[in-house]
Amino acid sequence: MSRIKQFKSQTRDLIHRGFDRHIKLAVTGLSGAGKTALITGVLEQLLYANESQNLPYFNVRQHQRLIGCRLHTSPNWDTPRFDYEKAIERLTGTPGQWPESTRDVSEIRLELKYHPERGLAGKVLDERRLTVDIIDYPGEWLLDLPLLSLTYEQWSKKQRTLFSTEPRKELAEAWLHQLNDLTAVATDDNAEKQIKVVAKAYRQYLADCKEQGLKLLQPGRLVLPGELAGTPSLDFFPWPLEQPVPDAWQSLLERKFEYYKEQVVKPFYQNYFRHFNRQLILVDVLSALEGGESYFDELKLALNEIMQSFNYGQNSLLRRLFSPQIDKVSFVVTKADSVVPSDHAKLTGLINALTLEGRQQLQFERIPFDLFSVAGVATSQWKQLKNGTNVLEGIDQSGELVRVGAPHVPGRLPTREDWQQGYVYPHFQPNFTLADSPLPHIRLDKLLNSVIGDKLR
């Protein structure tokens, strides 16, 4: 290669590197919020963007500047890869199925090539690259943040207030029974063994709470252990009684609690959370409405707890640990295909109302945020009949094609009377073939434009 050519090529490489960008886009939400389906939908839309006619608000595609997008090997070998292929296999199988529930963190890397909009790069270069790492992690893990500022005793006291109200009170009976039996015969020699037994009963109690739709469950890893399943690090519980912890148990319970804070909670924030740039918080508002008033309130409480992880003013706990990098948060109501399009704005209104208090209280406004209602994978067809009635068509759980009238979505936080009448939504099943790729979605183009669009200019 001639010297001039070599020089040009090196300069070009340098400029390329200078303009290459990288985003870590984290997706979280409580169990069943729709993380796996949404990430699958996002990957579908990006990988098939240039074949899609359904991304009008994704500017880079709409302005025909997107050259292409492909999956890339992730350099992070400690974290399992997000199983996109398996999710597609299920969604397009016969019969179609939703992806399996996931229990741990996973990650996938994408590379987008595009033409820049204008400016220096537009003149010198014809293409740039954006690398996007999408990380799927359980929202339950964020519920552990408040533990970091509490001692075992303080944490136990907080939990005690929770145990004293229904439905937790009744659900905790078996666990408390076991605890009472064993404390009566606690000795230094059997402490570890007995704590293990009571901890197992406590984990069962948390699992029962989860089954009942309760959200505010601590510690998060006792509910969703990920790689810690079966390890002694999860053998502890909050002290639920007014009488003091037996001497034989006290030191071990305190040490386990400290270990959990230091070796489980902190490393999650230090190894993962610290590196995130953009955060999606997915919320299944429709299931909470279906669950009724107490579950809806519980969702609100849990969301407010989760938001504490984004409150990193100068004196916050997180700021003292490291400097968080998240510069934008999107609250996303999922499963919007279960209601008619004219009600989508009501879903966004509800998530606004649900998170308002937490946002104000935490000076959350310091980080820009936005609100969306989307379907990662849209399974219904909206139709307006001749008489003007709105209906949804889709495949129900028995595999039949059904037509349902527009389900009622409240236009504001429901009142006592609203709760009495209750809410019910269809649960459509996927019904696709591979030829349907990119799978239909609702508003993922707007979401994508908001979370990565600014890096694709």
Whole-number Å distance between alpha carbons of 235 and 201: 10
Dist. CA 191–CA 186, nearest whole Å: 6
- Of 116 and 226, nearer to ligand GTP (C-beta) is 226
Piece of 35-43, 46-54, 156-164, 189-197 that binds Mg ion (CB under 5 A): 35-43
Smallest distance, ligand GTP to C-beta of residue 426, A: 8
Rounded least distance, CB 100 to Mg ion, Å: 8
Residues with Cβ within 8 Å of residue 139, at least 6 apart in sequence: 28, 29, 30, 31, 33, 281, 282, 302, 306
Q: What does the angle CA 383 – CA 352 – CA 438 come to, to the nearest 5 degrees?
A: 45
Of 16 and 80, nearer to ligand GTP (C-beta) is: 80
- Which residue, 108 or 182, has its beta carbon nearer to Mg ion? 108
CA distances, 8 to each of 4, 353, 382 (Å): 6, 55, 55
Q: Which is nearer to ligand GTP, 35 or 256 (CB)?
A: 35
Q: Which residues contact residue 320 at a Cβ distance below 8 angstroms, ignoring those fewer than 6 apart?
A: none
334 contact choice in Mg ion, ligand GTP, none (CB below 5 to 8 Å, kind-dependent)? ligand GTP
Query: What is the length of the chain?
Result: 457
* DSSP letter (8 states) at residue 283: E
| CB of 43 closer than 8 Å to CB of 155 | no
Q: Which of positions 89-108 make contact with Mg ion (CB under 5 A)?
A: 102
Q: Identify what 106 binds: ligand GTP, Mg ion, none; CB under 5 to 8 Å per kind.
A: none
Report CA 263 to chain centroid distance, whole Å: 22
- Token pair belonging to 159: 């939990």
List of residues 6+ apart from 148 with CB closer than 8 A:
261, 265, 266, 317, 321
Q: How far apart are CA 277 and CA 133, in angstroms?
A: 10
Residue number with CB closer to ligand GTP (104 or 254): 104
Distance CA 413, CA 289 (A): 10
Structure tokens at 269: 């924030």
Closest CB to ligand GTP among residues 130, 374:
374
DSSP 407: P
| Cα distance between residue 171 and residue 176, in whole Å | 10
Q: Give the binding site for ligand GTP (CB under 6 A).
A: 29, 31-37, 98-99, 101-102, 138, 334-335, 337-338, 375-377, 379, 428
324: its two tokens: 């968080």
Q: Which is nearer to ligand GTP, 29 or 213 (CB)?
A: 29
CA 85 to chain CA mean position, Å: 20
The minimum distance between CB 101 and ligand GTP, in angstroms, equals 3
CB of 101 to Mg ion, least distance (A): 6
Minimal distance in Å, beta carbon 223 to ligand GTP?
11
Are the beta carbons of 131 and 109 closer than 8 angstroms?
A: yes
Of the listed pieces 27-35, 55-63, 185-193, 357-365, which binds Mg ion according to CB under 5 A?
Answer: 27-35
Q: Please report how close the Cβ of residue 83 comes to ligand GTP at its closest, in angstroms.
A: 11
Q: Of the listed pieces 36-44, 122-130, 359-367, 438-446, which binds Mg ion according to CB under 5 A?
A: 36-44
Q: Single out the residue of 26, 29, 36, 375 in contact with Mg ion (rule: CB under 5 A).
A: 36
Q: At its nearest, how many Å lie between Mg ion and the CB of residue 146? A: 24
Please name the helix (run of DSSP H) or strand (run of DSSP E) that holds residue 394, with its range, or none: strand 390-395
Q: Which does 31 bind (CB under 5 to 8 A by kind): ligand GTP, Mg ion, none?
A: ligand GTP
> Segment near Mg ion (CB under 5 A), from 33-41, 227-235, 273-281, 420-428?
33-41
Establish if 35 lies at the interface with Mg ion (CB under 5 A): yes
Q: How far is the CB of 286 from ligand GTP (least distance, A)?
A: 9
Distance in Å, CB of 89 to Mg ion, minimum: 15
33 secondary structure, DSSP code:
S
Of 36 and 178, CB closest to Mg ion = 36
Work out how close the CB of 454 gets to ligand GTP at its nearest, in angstroms, rounded to a whole number.
25
* One-letter identity of residue 404: V
Window of 29-37, 320-328, 390-398, 442-450 that interacts with Mg ion by CB under 5 A: 29-37
Q: How far is the CB of 428 from ligand GTP (least distance, A)?
A: 5
Q: Which does 29 bind (CB under 5 to 8 A by kind): ligand GTP, Mg ion, none?
A: ligand GTP
Size of the site for Mg ion (CB under 5 A): 3
Q: Which residue has the tokens 């552990």?
A: 144
Query: 43 and 84 in contact (C-beta within 8 Å)?
Result: yes
Tokens 């469950």: give the residue: 217
CB 63 within 8 A of CB 103: no
Contacts of 422 (CB under 8 A, 6+ apart): 290, 292
Closer residue to ligand GTP (CB): 300 or 441: 441
Which positions from 261 through 320 interact with Mg ion, judged by CB under 5 A? none
The entry of Mg ion, ligand GTP, none that residue 316 binds, CB within 5 to 8 Å by partner kind: none
Residues that bind Mg ion (CB under 5 A): 35-36, 102
